[in-house]
Amino acid sequence: MRISILCVLAALAGCAHQAPPRLPPPPVFDTPALVFNPPPRALYRFVGRVRGIARTSDFVAAARDANDDLRWKAHLLGADLVRIDYVGVPREHGRGAQVLLAGRAYKAIPHP
């Protein structure tokens, strides 16, 4: 008797809890690598300057968003590598957090 009651309760609990709907995975982009040293001229060519800006109340989220913005803009230029020239962080007592990343985008030169 107890086993049948436990089975019914387990079946009801299993039906009451549904798994969340499965979302498709986000698209994967080949975003450029970030470096602080200039790449060799024999291997990379300059394609443009890029800036990533983000403003939010959380410094860590602003830094992450600025990084993503910089990489996305470099990706649109077709860059394989971004040399970081400037990192701007908010003042200690400022309202909100604005992070600025600026750099130069480079594309790899194809070699035969």
Q: Do 108 and 81 form a contact (C-beta atoms < 8 A)?
A: yes
Is 9 a member of any domain?
no
Is 40 a member of any domain?
yes
> Which residue range(s) make up the domain with 95?
32-112
Is 91 a member of any domain?
yes
Is 50 a member of any domain?
yes
Is 12 a member of any domain?
no
pLDDT for 57 equals 79
Whether residue 94 has pLDDT greater than 70: no
Is 43 a member of any domain?
yes
71-98 burial code (b ≥16 CB/10 A, e <16) = bebbbeeebbbbbbeeeeebeeeeeebb
At 34, the pLDDT band (50, 70, 90 cuts) reads confident
The CATH number of whichever domain residue 96 belongs to comes to 3.30.110.70
The Cα–Cα gap between 103 and 71 comes to 10
Is 18 a member of any domain?
no
pLDDT for 99 equals 87
At 12, the pLDDT band (50, 70, 90 cuts) reads low
Helix ranges (DSSP H) in the chain: 2-16, 59-76
Counted domains in the chain? 1
Query: Any idea how long the chain is?
Result: 112
User: Mean per-residue pLDDT for 14-26?
Assistant: 55
Whether residue 77 has pLDDT greater than 80: yes
User: Mean per-residue pLDDT for 62-72?
Assistant: 90
Q: Is the whole model's pTM more than 0.75, yes or no?
A: no
Is 48 a member of any domain?
yes
pLDDT for 76 equals 92
